Each structure stands twice: as C-alpha cells, then as structure tokens.
Amino acid sequence: MSLNDLLLQKRSHIVKKWCDVILQTYPEESQGFLRKQKDRFANPVGHTIFEGIESIYDELLQETESGKISLFLDNIVRVRAVQDFSPSQAVGFVFGLKKVIRKELKSEILKEGIAEEWAAFESKIDGLALLCFDIYTACRQKMFDIKVDSVRRQTGGLLRKAGLMYELPQNEEGLNEGQVNKGE
Amino acid sequence: MAEIPKSWNVPSPDGLVKEVDHSPASMGLQKGWMSTTPVEIKPGMHCYAALPKRSKALGMPNPRNWSAMDEDWKLPRNWKEIVLEGMKERLGKFRSFQLFMDICVRCGACADKCHYFIGSADPKNMPVLRAELLRSVYRKNFTTAGKLLGPIAGARDLTLDVLKEWWYYLYQCSECRRCSVFCPYGIDTAEITMMGRELTNLLGLNIDWIAAPIDFCYRTGNHMGIQPHAYKEMMEFFVDEVENYTGVRVEPSFNRKGAEILFVTPSGDVFGDPGTYTAMGYLVLFHELGLDVTWSTYASEGGNFGLFTSNEVMKRLNAKMYAEAKRLGVKWILGGECGHMWRVCNQYMGTMNLDMAKGSKMEEPVSPITGTKFENAKSTKMVHICEFTADLIRNNKLKLDPSRNDHLTVTMHDSCNPARGMGFFEEPRYVIKNVCNHFYDMPENTIREQTFCCGAGSGLNAGEDMELRMRGGLPRANAVKYVHEKYGVNKLACICAIDRAVLVDLMQYFVPEVDVTGIHEMVANAMILEGEKEKTVDLRGEPLPGKEDSK
C-alpha cells in the first residue's frame, strides 16, 4: 500500500489528531469551546482551524497543486498572527502533522517499506512551513500598514484644513502660471 | 555582527506545538484561576497611560507619568484603602453593582459570548471570569463567608498583582453587553467594567486614549480639541466638496439662536475619514429638506468618553447638549450616527441632566416635514437621525434613486450601543433598503441584539492596542467575510463613529475587499437634489455606476 493510500484511509483520524495538537496550543479552559462549538460564527477560530487543516490535508494528497493550500493556510495564520503566540508558535502548527503521522503510521511505513515516500511527504510539510512564514510576515506587515493608515485617516481632515495636504485640481490650466516663483 | 540570542534554540517539530507556554501548569490553572502568576502586561494588548496634564485638567487623582509596562505604577501609598473605600461607596450608591456582585451563580452562559474570548481564547476574557476578578475581592472584604473561608468561598485579597490583573482585563472589555443578553439573571458585565474602571481611576490608572478626549471635550468642546473657528472651516470645506460633486451649495448654520432643531454628532464625523462623508450626507439631507437646524461649535461632540471613565465625568460632558439647546432656544435635538453617544442619551441623559432643560423651549419632538410625533423621545427631546430619515422615507418626502448605489452590495453592522442599548434594529435597515438595491444581512447570531462588537469600543480604539482590537474584531470580521464570499458584499454600513474609524482597520486585515460607510453617506448619494448637476461621482468623488468614463 502506498503512503497516499494509507493517508487517505486514515484521513479523518489523522486530521482529528492534528486538530487536537493545534488546539493544545490554546489555554486548556478554552480548548473544549474551540473543539465543541460547531457554529462557525460562534466559534470562528475553531472553525477556521478545522476547516483549514482538513482542506490542507486533502490538498497535500493531490498530485497537482490547486493553489488553494495558501488560501487555507492564510486563514489560519492570519488569526494566529494576532493571537498570543511567538512567530514560531504561530506558524509551527504545520509540524504537528509530522508528529501525528509519525506516531500513527510509523509501523505501517516501516512494514510497507515506503520510507522514501514518507521523506518526500515530509518535504511537502516543510514547504508548508515556509509558506506560513511568508504569510505570517505579510500579516504582520499589514498590521504596521494599518497603524500608519489609521493615523492618516484620523487626521486627514485636520491636515487638509491646515493646508498641509493639498490635492491639485483636475483642471490644471494656469497651473504653470500659479507655480511661478514670483520672488525670482 | 549581532549576536544570536540564547533563547533562539532550534525548535523540533514536536517542540513547536508543545512548547507554547500557556499550558494549564504554566498558567497556574491547575491550582484554580485565582492563584495564577502575576499577569504579564503585553504590548499590543493595552493602551498607553494618561498624561498627567489630562488628569490635572479634570481634577482626577494621582496625576503622574507612568506606564503599565513598568514594575512600579507609582500608586498612592494607601492605594488599597482607596480602592476598598471606593468599592464600599459604590456598593451603597449603585444597587445594580451590589446585585451583580452577589447573584452570579457561575452558570457559564456568558462564557463563550464575548468577542475578546472568542478571538483570543484567553479564559480571563470570559465575562464571568473577568467579573470574578472584582467579585473575589468583594467577597473577601464585604461578605462574611468570604472573610471566614477565603479561597474556598471564592474570595481573595486585593494585592498589587490582583490590581494589575484587574486593570489589564478591565481594558479588554468594550462594554458591548453581548454577554448580558445571554445571562439568565440579566447581569450587565459592562456595568461591572464601569465600576472597575471607576475604582482604578481613583488611583490615577486612566488611559490616555480616554483621558485626552475627555480633557479636550471638557475644555474645547470635542474629542479632537478642535476650536470653534476650525470646526466651522472644516464644515465650509465640506460645503465646497458637496458643491463640487452635486452642483448644489448647502448652507449650514452654526450656533444660530431661534433655530427649531439643534444637531449634535460625533466630532469624528467632521474630522476623520470615512466619517466625513457621512457628515457631508447630513448637510445634503438638511439642505434638501430646508430644515431649520443649527450645528453648534460648543456642543460639538456627540461622543462621551466620560461613559468609560465615571458617571460624574459622563454627566459633566453630557450637560453641554441641554445647555446649548436651552441657550439657542431650540425645540428639540437631532442626534447623528453614533454608538455610545446614544447609550448615554437614551439611557442616562434623562435622569442625569434633564433638570438643565428646565425653562428651555424644548418640547416633544415633531418632524417639521412629516408632522410625525416622536413619542419615544418625549422625555429626552432627542431623536436619532435614522428614525428621522426612516420617517421621511415612509412618508415619501425624499426623492431617491437607489440605482446610484448599484455598485454597492451592502451589509450592516449593528453598533452595540444603539442595538443593545436602545433596541434600534429596523430603522437603519429600512433606510438602507430604500437607498440601495443590494442588501444582505449577516447571519442571525452575529447581528441585532446578538451583534458582535467592532473590537474597539469603550475607548479601546487606540493604535497601540491593535492586537487586542484584531482579536476582538475577529468574530465580526468572520461574519462579514462570509457575506462577502456568499453575496459579494463590498460595503459595511454602520451607525457609529468609532465603528467607521476602526472597522476600516479590521476589514483591511481580514476582508480587504470590503469598505466601510455611514448610512447617511449612502442616503445623500441616492438623493435626487433640487438643482443638481448631472451627477457623475459620489460624495467621495468616486464615479457612480455607469459614469466611470465621465470623470
């Protein structure tokens, strides 16, 4: 049996374990809520994680990449990038999949002699981590941009009023005349 | 070359998911929530401390330079006594506070309803636990069981660590009251937060994002500290803009004695984008109706950050509205699109300041255009502009062409205070549906009385607490994202100046395809004005549908 077949066969079990591992990065008191509340609007964090990793798992098993992986990774990382995590903790959840598969499929992988397939699959997971790093950095950069924009918007009116910000009129006839430095 | 910090160990795959250090043990939760280690005040999760000049201007205690990140908060030596005395005084003065301290049975109905908890998963953001921070101290000092049994009765001493924990979490509550909707006893956690903030303010633990606006508001008239001439000049700028885009020159008046109506709105609408477009919307509406209305440069602030400070400060700032209404001799007050302003005006103003209206010319508000009596505003004499406009539309008094908003697919964020504070759900929706053709509500458990906070209410709309705001705003953003993906929603309408400011940030992070608008911006854009030129752009100067080439 190939690794892909094994992973397909044990899909729901592995995804559940992977989800558990990720939820364990949250405070214990809150894990029950994140796991049990199924309403996607009442529990956006739990929903985003579960829906995300399920889809990421399926995408990993596909032969060709559809580009959807980065979308689901983005959803998860975007949330974790503003939660109480260090950068490595925010993106490290992808390695949880390695941990789960090693534990769950170790004997089968050895028995079937598919260690090479497993090594290739692990590289895919490493790729995910790099992608997460890009997304995380973009999210944090976005936060800085937002802070700058926010200040600009709040004071936009004041700057206009103070004449510090002046947009040239659309009709620029006579502009050159007005621009001439009379003191020259 | 910079040295690599020692803490940069190479993590193992296992480690990366294991080593996140809020395991129960690290948080001390195995011993119960009360024995947690001292709270770590984190950057991005709190607001900067108030500058001493603010507290001095308002006569508030302990003005000094301090920072929550410092070990020493420079508290008065007898700080504990001050807090406990303050607590005793408030327990006697406010029956609700005493009741809320006593009746919680910790059923947990509120636990997962707070947007900060949902977004952060920090158990101390469960409303019940946030309230327990205060209750535990209450029990220890004011109940027999607590005095005798201590922790067994859920009681604990007020220590410096406890005080810091109070402060940290009191400013992670936006007083939105979503939790209170689910409480079988009707406990209003917002009021507990208010009491907690009053108590910490007794020690000078105010934040600058609240203290600065109240200082400005108290002395200059509005949150931004804009002086009367600058306020007027800014409005004149809008007049030019409106003429530019519509061909109609509106003529607002200021501080005009004898006007029928006084209009009060948050100063954020006058100075901050995109609120400015809503302010232009008000101008267009008033002009088209020929309404006998005046703006005031004295009562130039609808918002009231006193609500987030203490009831005394709230009362002091709110007093301007009636004082100005009386001075100008108006019949009633029309209020703009604002959130917490309406909680103050609808729930507190009547009992707080109505005596100031004695001897004034104010009477039960009647729309001069439709003749409708606003009986609901009989006592306060103040009408919400969405009620006013909804009534105009219902009586066919506005010429509207909703197709001018056809490029918009709109959803509406119910602002917490008008929604839960005054049951204001249908009027804004009625207005929106009449001025644009594409409207889709977000899922039921995220709107109306169950609406999710923007994540930045109650004076938390600063820039330095952006992580907190993003966590708190996550449930709202998540619902917007859903209607964006399902129906193509590209505009988030709201009736609150803080929303207009902060939802833009939230959308930029989570759903960048969606922009934010006030309702009266859309109303004005849909209005067919007497003497208008052929309109090609909206109030933002952006092309109307089908007019993209004519700019």
Question: The domain that contains B48 carries what CATH number?
Answer: 1.10.1060
Distance from CA of B464 to the nearest CA of A (A): 8
Residue A158 belongs to a domain: no
pLDDT band at B236 (very low <50, low <70, confident <90, very high): very high
- Rounded to a whole number of angstroms, the distance from the CA of B516 to the nearest CA of chain A is 13
Predicted local distance difference test score (pLDDT) of residue B30: 47
The string of pLDDT tens digits covering residues B62-80 is 999 999 999 999 999 999 9
User: Residue A167 has what pLDDT?
Assistant: 58
Asked if the C-beta of A42 comes within 8 angstroms of chain B's C-beta atoms, the answer is yes
Check residue B547 and give its pLDDT. Answer: 86
Judge whether residue B29 has pLDDT over 80: no
| C-beta of residue B217 within 8 angstroms of C-beta of residue B305 | yes
Same domain, B338 and B407: yes
Residue A129, domain member (yes or no)? yes
Contact A41 B233 (CB under 8 A): no
Residue whose entry in the numeric block shows the structure tokens 């885009």: B245
> Model ipTM?
0.91
For residue B263, is it within any domain? Answer: yes
pLDDT for res B9: 61
Provide, as residue numbers in chain A, all residues whose Cβ is less than 8 Å from the Cβ of B273.
153, 156-157
Which of B7, B14, B20, B540 should one mutate to test binding to chain A, selecting the residue with the greatest count of A CBs within 10 A? B20
Query: What integer is the mean pLDDT of B511-532?
Result: 97
Question: What local confidence, expressed as pLDDT, does residue B24 receive?
Answer: 41
Contact criterion met (CB below 8 Å) for B490 and B513: yes
Average pLDDT over residues B4-25: 57
Q: Is the pLDDT of residue B14 over 80?
A: no
> For residues A157 and A135, what is the distance between their CA atoms, to the nearest angstrom?
34
Question: In which band, very low, low, confident or very high, does the pLDDT at B549 lie, cut at 50, 70 and 90?
Answer: confident
**What percent of chain B shows pLDDT beyond 90?**
86
Domain annotation covers residue A165: no
**Which three-class secondary structure state does DSSP give residue A1?**
coil
- The band of B50, judged by pLDDT with boundaries at 50, 70 and 90, is very high
* B83-89 own/partner pairs: CB under 8 Å, 24+ apart: B83/B158, B83/B163, B83/B199, B83/B200, B83/B202, B83/B203, B84/B141, B84/B158, B86/B198, B86/B199, B86/B202, B87/B137, B87/B138, B87/B141, B87/B142, B87/B195, B87/B199, B88/B142
Cα separation, A18 vs A100, in Å, equals 6
How does DSSP assign B276-329, residue by residue? HHHHHHHHHHHHHHT--EEE-SSS-----GGGGT-HHHHHHHHHHHHHHHHHHT
Would A127 be classed as within a structural domain?
yes
Contacts of B123 in chain A (CB under 8 A): 27, 29-30
**B11 reaches A (C-beta below 8 A):** yes
Q: Which of B7, B12, B17 to mutate to test the interface with A (most CBs of A within 10 A)?
A: B17
Task: Count structural domains, chain B.
Answer: 2
Report the C-alpha gap between B121 and A28 in whole angstroms.
9
A82 vs B: CB within 8 A = yes
* A122 found inside a domain: yes
Cβ–Cβ contact A98 with B under 8 A: yes
Which residues are bridge partners to B262 per DSSP?
B294, B333
- The pLDDT tens digits along chain A (184 residues) read 899 999 999 999 999 999 999 999 999 999 999 999 999 999 999 999 999 999 999 999 987 777 889 999 999 999 999 999 999 999 999 999 999 999 999 999 999 999 999 999 999 999 999 999 999 999 999 999 999 888 887 776 666 666 655 555 555 444 444 443 433 3
Mutate to test the interface with A, among B270, B476, B478, B485 (most CBs of A within 10 A): B478
A21 found inside a domain: yes
B157 lies in the same domain as B224: no
Give the whole-angstrom CA distance, residue B471 versus residue B293.
41
Residue B33 has pLDDT above 80, yes or no: no
Contact B16 A45 (CB under 8 A): no
Which residues of chain A are within 8 Å of residue B126 when distances are taken between CB atoms? 29
Are B188 and B332 part of one and the same domain?
no
**Is the pLDDT at B153 greater than 80, yes or no?**
yes
Q: Within this chain, do residues B400 and B436 fall inside the same structural domain, yes or no? A: yes
By the CB < 8 Å criterion, does B479 face chain A? yes
Which residues span the domain enclosing B332?
212-526
User: What pLDDT does B19 receive?
Assistant: 53
User: Are B342 and B474 in a shared domain?
Assistant: yes
Is the CB of residue A43 less than 8 Å away from at least one CB of chain B? yes
Residue B286 has pLDDT above 90, yes or no: yes
Q: How many residue contacts between A and B have a Cβ separation below 8 Å?
A: 148
Segment B343-365 shows an average pLDDT of 94
Distance (Å, rounded) from C-alpha A101 to C-alpha A122? 10
- B405 with B457, same domain: the answer is yes
H or E, element range at B517: strand B515-518
- Does A142 lie at the interface with B, CB-CB under 8 angstroms? yes
Mean residue pLDDT of chain B comes to 93
d(CA A55, CA B481): 18
Q: Which of residues B152, B182, B206 is at a domain's end? A: B206
Q: Is residue A23 part of a domain?
A: yes
Count of the separate structural domains present in chain A: 1
**Interfacial B residues in 196-235 facing A (CB < 8 Å):** 224, 226, 230, 233-234
- Which residue segment(s) compose the domain that A101 sits in? 3-138
pLDDT digits (tens, 9 = 90+) for B257-276: 999 999 999 998 988 889 99
- Written as six digits, the tokens of B84 are 């406990």
**Contact yes or no for B209/B462 (Cβ under 8 A):** yes
Q: Are residues B124 and B188 in the same domain?
A: yes
For residue A128, give the nearest of A53, A64, A63, A78 by alpha carbon. Answer: A53
Give a yes or no: residue A67 inside a domain: yes
The residue that leads in pLDDT, B22 or B62, is B62
Range with the largest mean pLDDT of A154-158, B129-133, B390-394: B390-394
Q: What is the mean pLDDT of residues B384-408?
A: 97
